[in-house]
């Protein structure tokens, strides 16, 4: 199952990988912009309340998102744990 991308012709595989990477980069940029906007809004609303707790939660969320973004680039999307769910 996870070896499906190897059986494709090389030209098609290279083209698809490039397209996927471009799409992922665009998605990442959009997500980063959205995250920055959310942070700005949160800072404006509540700066003085519960600073320590929020920082810990944000770090955990960031780590999980990064792992999911990196996974599809290694091979086909079918090999990604999240995609196969």
Residue 65's H or E segment, with its range, is: helix 51-74
Is pTM, for the whole model, over 0.85?
A: no
CA distances from 80 to 17, 18, 42, 66, 77 (A): 14, 17, 32, 13, 5
What does the alpha-carbon distance between residue 38 and residue 35 come to, in Å, rounded to a whole number? 5
Tokens representing 80?
A: 């990604």
pLDDT digits (tens, 9 = 90+) for 40-85: 887 776 655 565 665 666 565 555 555 555 555 555 555 666 766 6
Q: Where are the chain's structural domains? A: 4-84
């Amino acid at each position: 199952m996870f070896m499906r991308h190897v059986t494709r012709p090389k030209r098609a595989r290279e083209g698809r990988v490039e397209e996927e990477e471009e799409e992922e980069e665009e998605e990442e940029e959009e997500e980063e912009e959205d995250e920055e906007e959310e942070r700005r809004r949160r800072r404006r609303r509540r700066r003085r309340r519960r600073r320590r707790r929020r920082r810990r939660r944000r770090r955990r969320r960031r780590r999980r998102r990064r792992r999911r973004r990196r996974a599809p680039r290694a091979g086909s999307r079918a090999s990604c744990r999240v995609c196969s769910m």
